[in-house]
Amino acid sequence: MKRSKRTQRRCIMSNDLEIYGLHGQSRDNELSDALGHEEILGHEEILGALAAASDAIKSGGAFQNALANKLARRAPIVQRVQPTKKRRWVVGFGPTAVPPSSTVTVQAQPQCLFRGEKLVNSGDVTNLFIQGLFVGQKSQLPTFQNPIAVSVFAGTVLDNELLMDTCDPALFITFQIQNTGASVTQTWSMSIIGHTVL
């Protein structure tokens, strides 16, 4: 069946519209221009802008403070734990030989926080006197007094408490013991009973 020239012309125009679109471009190009996807997305420009913005944010003070706070929350907490266990403790001195008419110095280091409260003599008592008692460099006896007989601190005596200063682990407790006898060497030993905190 023959088509008229007018009908053929309409078919050609219809085909041209389907193929080339309204402005003589292909349908794909027309859709591309209509949507403008490259202009809308601008992926290279957007990524570049994000990178620049990220660097600017990371270098800012607020970001650095937030990062430091976050890292601090993750870091292990180091806390100084104070001693909590108090218990009775005994520090021993001697036995030490004290020659006649002489004075000896005897030391002990508790190696913990220790506070003496009672002296107990466990050695000889004849002619033996305490001339000095120190915690570190601090005297625990009244200054310029006569020596104290060790018999005052015999184990059978009840009321002989002596509340001393606290001795740090690095310090020493020092006794100065005098033998006033003229011919006999005496053996001195003593214990300090108190409390320690571990």
> In the block, which residue shows the tokens 């180091």?
78
Angle between helix axes 5-20 and 27-35 (nearest 10 degrees) is: 40
Domains identified in the chain, total number: 2
Angle between helix axes 43-58 and 61-74 (nearest 10 degrees) is: 70
Domain containing residue 25 = 5-74
| Angstrom distance (rounded) from CA 38 to CA 32 | 9
pLDDT at 196: 93
Q: Which long-range contacts does 33-36 make (Cβ < 8 Å, 24+ apart)?
A: none
pLDDT at 56: 65
- For residue 165, the SS3 value is coil
CB 93 within 8 A of CB 177: no
- Whether 121 is in a domain gets the answer yes
| Angstrom distance (rounded) from CA 136 to CA 178 | 20
Which tens digits make up the pLDDT trace of 116-140?
999 999 999 999 999 999 999 999 9
- Whether 152 is in a domain gets the answer yes
Q: Check whether residue 28 and residue 123 sit in a common domain.
A: no
Q: Which of 34-38, 114-118, 133-137, 187-191 has the lowest mean pLDDT?
A: 34-38
- Whether 80 is in a domain gets the answer no
pLDDT at 155: 83
- Whether 180 is in a domain gets the answer yes
Q: Check whether residue 47 and residue 18 sit in a common domain.
A: yes
Q: What is the pTM of this model?
A: 0.57
Last residue of a domain, one of 47, 74, 101: 74
95 preceded by a cis bond (ω within 30 of 0): yes
